[in-house]
Structure 1
Amino acid sequence: MYQNKLKIIIQFLLFITCLSVVLGLKESTDRIGLKPLADEMKTSFILFEQSTRELQNAVSLLEENSSGKGKKEISITQKELSGARINAAKEALKNSRMAYKRIEFFMDYFFQSSSLIYNRPAKVEVEEPYMEYQEPSGFQVIEAMLFDADPLVHQKELADQAELLVSSAAGLPALLYGFDASDNQVLESVRLELVKVITLSITGYDAPELKSGIEESYQSIFTVQKVLLPYIKKDLPGSALLNQQLGATVDYLHQHPDFDSFDRMEFLRHYALPLQEQLRNFIQSSKSELQQKSVLNYGAKNIFSPDAIPSNVFPDAANRNLKMVALGKKLFLEKALSGNLKRSCASCHHPDQYFSEQLKTSTAFDGKSSVSRNAPSLLYAGFQYSQFWDGRAKSLQEQIKTVISNPFEMNGDHQVVVAELSKSADYRCDFAAAFSERAVNAINIKTVADALAAYLGELNPRNSAFDRYMNGDSKALKSEALKGFNLFMGKAQCGSCHFAPLFNGLIPPYYKLTEYEILGTPANADFKNAKKDKDRGRHDFFPISYYEAAFKTPTVRNVEMTAPYMHNGVFKDLYQVVDFYNRGGGAGLGLDLPGQTLSAKPLNLSEKEMREIVDFMKSLTDNL
């Protein structure tokens, strides 16, 4: 029944999409690349549909070999045949993914609602604030089933998913009927595809088991090269350099297809990031700037530049000024914000401890008990769309007001806090200067929160050894850290949740959402006798099953200085953290966690590799 509903939804989305293009996208006076783009997509749609049919055929063959399933004895021949057919299905899946990567940028940019069927994560996603559930479908679901211990038990689901791909792919050519787009839109679409390759594809984000991310990156950049060809032929300023860098990048990806051994740092520094810079220069010189989809600063040199993600795009961050920041820094140490005039923000977030503390969980207001969760570092806290481990606050201001009034944290009454601050002539002067438009009664709980948020929003130094290396200092990183980066962004799959460049839960390439994950973090650090943690995470805020024990993905910047780790402070050092992931999270330790979003399969990292990952994370330590 679910599959029938999904088919109807797909058909409806295709109809709406076609209707919208027939009614007409806004005409552009300059559409050099429009017809070549449409021709390229027309061919690629046909090839993609063929690949989905081949995948469907490969999946259907699994049913023909299931007669022995369930019997106590299966002949060696049957086992070999079954294994061969499963491998053939995996290969067909890989081929179909390759074909999809040639249309991905187009679908994601121009027909995003229709594209959701193909490559959605293999977990239920919740669309807030409407709490609509997006059921998993497409390639990633098929991959998860084919790489299960016994793929044959998923025969019906595999057949249903393959049918969905075939039926939806068959309708793709209709999207081109009456399609119109400006060159500016085309250029933004390929710009974002390049960001996706840099931050997602090379990490194995959407094909962790197939490990086809490098080959898929080749398909993506090769297609970008073809789409940009009409513009390059026009011989605009920067065309030659862009064309040269495109060719070099495509060649490098083609020559180094192996996922685990791929040198991501070499690829980024010598190919992808220079390509991003050349594409930026070309778009600027051709006066084709357009920003419809992402919050990225398109004027930044590349994704790892300090200004790549502007701080003012996050909730309630737009009107900061230097006087607000200075006032916020002063208020951060102010004990008048607490109910007993003895606690300040710095009581739990110590500036000399990288704005965290060394306790598993902070001491509560009563001075005896403890709060339920670890105090995370406030560095880069402003670069998130939600605050607290469970994401229940949508802005720093909301978080600040909540902490001040929380009886277990600061236990401050907002009115009393404002009255206490108002007694100070210095504060009256400071608030009037920082909030000049509210010179009368400038001290209130909103301005207190705004000033503190302004200060916290500036806690993003971006001056670590890693940052210096990415910005040209070739001596800033040691070989162990470089190896660790390649593992972090590849085999260890860390970069598929801790997304570059901030290595937090901001999802590329649009950077408009913060991700939550269910890791199965245990209540104790004994991996042989792990106990289930009772903290229900985001479920306490949104009581739905998909949020059971879900927590926000924090940044790993400065983690060297912010032990202990995880929401409950259970792990005392970074090696334990990496070892936990290496074992497959809580489910990998044997805990009953059916909703875990982290794969329960071991990563098979060696002790040396785990220590190299730790070395990389230490390279993310800023100089404060």
Structure 2
Amino acid sequence: MRKTSILLGTFFICLLMLSGAQMAIPYQKDIVPEKVAALYTANFIKFQNEVDALATLVNKASSVNEWEGLKSQVEKTRLVYKEIEFIFDYYQTFYNGTYINGAPLPKVSEYFEAEKVIPPGGLQALDEAVYDSVSNENLQHIKVLANGLKERVDFIANIHLPVHLKSSQIIECIRSGIVRIFTLGLTGYDTPGSVNGLKESVVSWQSMETTFLYFEVGMAPEAKNEFEAIKKHFTKGKNILKANTHFNDFDRLAFLKEVVNPLYAALSEFQNANKIMLEPYKKHAQNYKAENLFDKDFLNTDFYSELVYLPLYNPKTIALGKLLFGDPQLSKDNVMSCASCHNPNKGFSDGLPKSVSNQKGVFTDRNAPTLMDAGYSARYFWDMRALDLEKQVIHVIDNDLEFNTDFDAIVAKLNKSERYNKLFKEAYGGIAKEDINQRSISNAIAAYVNSLKSFNSPFDKYVRNETKEYPENAKRGFNLFMGKAACGSCHFAPVFNGTVPPFYLESESEVLGITQGFDSIAPKLDTDLGRMGNGLKMDKHPFLKNSFKTVTVRNIALTAPYMHNGLFVTLEDVLAFYNLGGGAGMGLEVENQTLPDTPLELSQQEMEDIIAFMETLTDVSEYGDGGE
């Protein structure tokens, strides 16, 4: 009996121990956010202290003799910031982009100080300033920047800390941080003065690695292999970044294929194996289910069309939109269709400097950009006057030189067609009293345009490891595009347009100093006001004069001529213009030019290599015949 009791007692003790062990797994997983939050808080306070030290130093500086000390402190402050950026930017995206580490340009933010111009500020502005001219005037400017940064950091610390994290969001922070390093750090976007992107990327990389290693405690056994693979990817990436390679010589393509994409995928696999559910902190365009930066679904175009009449991925609305796209009935006198200016055989452009109008011999004011990948954007048209794809349609309908009609007239025409009545009923039946209306017409065309995606180019297939063949000159060209030539600091991967990573929430425009003709001897600035003259109150500011949307360079080999006025006939001309430093580099007074006016010093071979890379971005395999 006693033996039986002992056996039973031992059994129950083992059962309790086993139960306790099983209970420990979720408990241990729950403390990962706490440990990460503690490290993050300590690093944030360290950053706050460095900002304080910078403000103190600059306020004491009485002459430019102390410039090197200021430069050193700015670098130190930025490096400490890189330890927290991947988490801070995830939770405080708009504040970060406006006040802490946004581009050093004036902006009108809809989130802060609405409709007021917010002057350049933050860490990028400081990086640019301390590497600018050594002068008392610039010293005063740096004082303003440093004191402004201290004020903003002290303010956000009071409402941001303590931070409350979730395991899934920590992984999302790391994955977004990887995107940030590749698209903003290694391109030089983030360090406009120092070009210190490699050194800063090392710090970011190590901080993300340290954070990830907390997941080892309480990890599910099924996630062990993925965990070990991620450790190896982090180690390999760190060794490559720390190899003392010159910024211009860094092999970004190899880093993308050998480290960035594999690590990005492995983190997703680890999350799934560890049964950590997706719980994004807020909605944005990055799709965390994607496993490669160049997957077709890496970005969700749904993010940019949230308020449309009907979601744009419906196969029925796409098919209807394709039919409407080529139908001249949408214009007055049935003389034009969308395809008149956006020909599928010309990369959805028209091959003209400025597009044809509805009047013989008369042209519109601007070039027709491609519609491929247009859905990956927060603003539309060269002057960015439309805020979604549906509203873009309305502008074309109303334009005197384009369709020159109204929706009542179009609805009356389409209602006469038995086929259109059937198709609109199938796609939009029951939503409104009449199936054919302004919103449904706009939505159908928007759905078709949104479906035009080009992620099966030779380049995409190569970086997804779907092919081993890729030209050597294009490899060199990609590295130049993303590095020395600074193309990738405005045309952001993976769409290579102006929608800003890592969350791809906003689309940028640039002031390039585009001329009326490519005359480097006696250039004349183009008179088109661009974004400043688009009719939107929030854009009516001098710093947006001559500013135009940064469009994609995907399919660029098909869409000549280039720029808003069709100035350049060839890609060689485009590269020559950039190589000179734009309009300002050609000697023009271009106020607020966002393109650096210093020559890029690209050789003829380097420009040819960049063109070779851009030509591998050609993909006409899909013209939007179906849904996603």
Alpha-carbon distance in structure 2 between the residues aligned to 1:91 and 1:263? 27
Alpha-carbon distance in structure 2 between the residues aligned to 1:246 and 1:403? 49
Query: Which among 289, 292, 309 is matched to residue 299 of structure 1?
Result: 289
Alpha-carbon distance in structure 2 between the residues aligned to 1:306 and 1:172? 36
One-letter amino acid of the counterpart of residue 445, structure 1: Q
Q: Is 1:415 matched with 2:404?
A: no
One-letter amino acid of the counterpart of residue 122, structure 1: P
Deviation larger for 173-182 or 449-458: 173-182
Mapping of residues 165-564 of structure 1, within 5 Å = 165=149, 178-236=162-220, 237=223, 238-288=226-276, 289-293=278-282, 294-315=284-305, 316=308, 318-437=311-430, 441-540=434-533, 541=535, 542-564=539-561
CA shift for structure 1 position 267: 0.6
CA contact under 8 A between 2:379 and 2:387: conserved in structure 1? yes
Q: 1:589 matched to which residue of 2?
A: 586
Q: 1:98 matched to which residue of 2?
A: 79
Q: 1:385 to 1:247 in 2, by over 3 A?
A: same
CA contact under 8 A between 2:476 and 2:609: conserved in structure 1? yes
CA shift for structure 1 position 392: 1.0
Q: 1:154 matched to which residue of 2?
A: 138
CA contact under 8 A between 1:242 and 1:275: conserved in structure 2? yes
Query: Which among 116, 125, 136 is matched to residue 120 of structure 2?
Result: 136
Query: Which among 84, 90, 106 is matched to residue 124 of structure 1?
Result: 106
The DSSP-based 3-state class of the residue aligned with 1:551 is strand
Deviation larger for 395-404 or 213-222: 395-404
The DSSP-based 3-state class of the residue aligned with 1:117 is helix
CA contact under 8 A between 2:581 and 2:600: conserved in structure 1? yes
CA contact under 8 A between 1:45 and 1:169: conserved in structure 2? no
Q: 1:172 to 1:222 in 2, by over 3 A?
A: farther
Q: 1:40 matched to which residue of 2?
A: 39
Alpha-carbon distance in structure 2 between the residues aligned to 1:617 and 1:112? 31
CA contact under 8 A between 1:188 and 1:290: conserved in structure 2? no
CA shift for structure 1 position 235: 3.5
> Structure 2, unaligned stretches of length 5 or more?
1-26, 622-628
After superposition, give the CA deviation of every residue in 1:298-329 in whole Å (9 maximum; x if it has no partner): 11112211111123222226254222222211
CA shift for structure 1 position 46: 5.2
Alpha-carbon distance in structure 1 between the residues aligned to 2:458 and 2:162? 51
After superposition, give the CA deviation of every residue in 1:331-379 in whole Å (9 maximum; x if it has no partner): 1121111112121111111111111111110122111221100011111
The DSSP-based 3-state class of the residue aligned with 2:30 is coil
CA contact under 8 A between 1:190 and 1:224: conserved in structure 2? yes
After superposition, give the CA deviation of every residue in 1:415-457 in whole Å (9 maximum; x if it has no partner): 2221112212222222222223359732223222221111111
The DSSP-based 3-state class of the residue aligned with 1:230 is helix
Q: 1:555 to 1:172 in 2, by over 3 A?
A: closer
Q: 1:575 matched to which residue of 2?
A: 572
One-letter amino acid of the counterpart of residue 93, structure 1: V
Q: 1:108 matched to which residue of 2?
A: 89
Query: Which among 611, 614, 618 is matched to residue 615 of structure 2?
Result: 618
After superposition, give the CA deviation of every residue in 1:538-576 in whole Å (9 maximum; x if it has no partner): 111232223211111110101111000001101111121
After superposition, give the CA deviation of every residue in 1:583-618 in whole Å (9 maximum; x if it has no partner): 222221122122112222222222211111111111
Deviation larger for 425-434 or 96-105: 425-434
Q: 1:169 to 1:414 in 2, by over 3 A?
A: closer
Q: TM-score, normalized by length of structure 2? A: 0.86
One-letter amino acid of the counterpart of residue 607, structure 2: M
Alpha-carbon distance in structure 1 between the residues aligned to 2:160 and 2:142? 29
Q: 1:58 to 1:526 in 2, by over 3 A?
A: farther
Q: 1:451 to 1:160 in 2, by over 3 A?
A: closer
Question: Percent identity between the aligned chains?
Answer: 35
One-letter amino acid of the counterpart of residue 360, structure 1: P
CA contact under 8 A between 1:358 and 1:562: conserved in structure 2? yes
Q: 1:64 matched to which residue of 2?
A: 63
Q: 2:21 matched to which residue of 1?
A: none
After superposition, give the CA deviation of every residue in 1:43-65 in whole Å (9 maximum; x if it has no partner): 43454355446655775797435
After superposition, give the CA deviation of every residue in 1:223-252 in whole Å (9 maximum; x if it has no partner): 011111110243331222222222222222
Deviation larger for 460-469 or 187-196: 187-196
CA contact under 8 A between 2:381 and 2:392: conserved in structure 1? yes
CA contact under 8 A between 1:386 and 1:514: conserved in structure 2? yes
Question: How many residues are paired up?
Answer: 579
After superposition, give the CA deviation of every residue in 1:506-558 in whole Å (9 maximum; x if it has no partner): 11111121112212111111122211111001111232223211111110101
Alpha-carbon distance in structure 2 between the residues aligned to 1:384 and 1:205? 19
The DSSP-based 3-state class of the residue aligned with 1:430 is helix
Q: 1:314 to 1:168 in 2, by over 3 A?
A: closer
> Structure 1, unaligned stretches of length 5 or more?
1-27, 66-81
After superposition, give the CA deviation of every residue in 1:474-528 in whole Å (9 maximum; x if it has no partner): 4342111111111111111111111111011111111121112212111111122
After superposition, give the CA deviation of every residue in 1:85-118 in whole Å (9 maximum; x if it has no partner): 6455434322321111011123223345664533
After superposition, give the CA deviation of every residue in 1:193-229 in whole Å (9 maximum; x if it has no partner): 1221122111111103311112111111100111111
CA contact under 8 A between 1:432 and 1:439: conserved in structure 2? no
Q: 1:50 to 1:546 in 2, by over 3 A?
A: same
One-letter amino acid of the counterpart of residue 133, structure 1: V
One-letter amino acid of the counterpart of residue 300, structure 1: A
The DSSP-based 3-state class of the residue aligned with 1:109 is helix
The DSSP-based 3-state class of the residue aligned with 2:108 is strand
Alpha-carbon distance in structure 2 between the residues aligned to 1:391 and 1:173? 35
Q: 1:443 to 1:141 in 2, by over 3 A?
A: same
CA contact under 8 A between 1:338 and 1:410: conserved in structure 2? yes
Q: 1:433 to 1:285 in 2, by over 3 A?
A: same
Q: 1:31 matched to which residue of 2?
A: 30
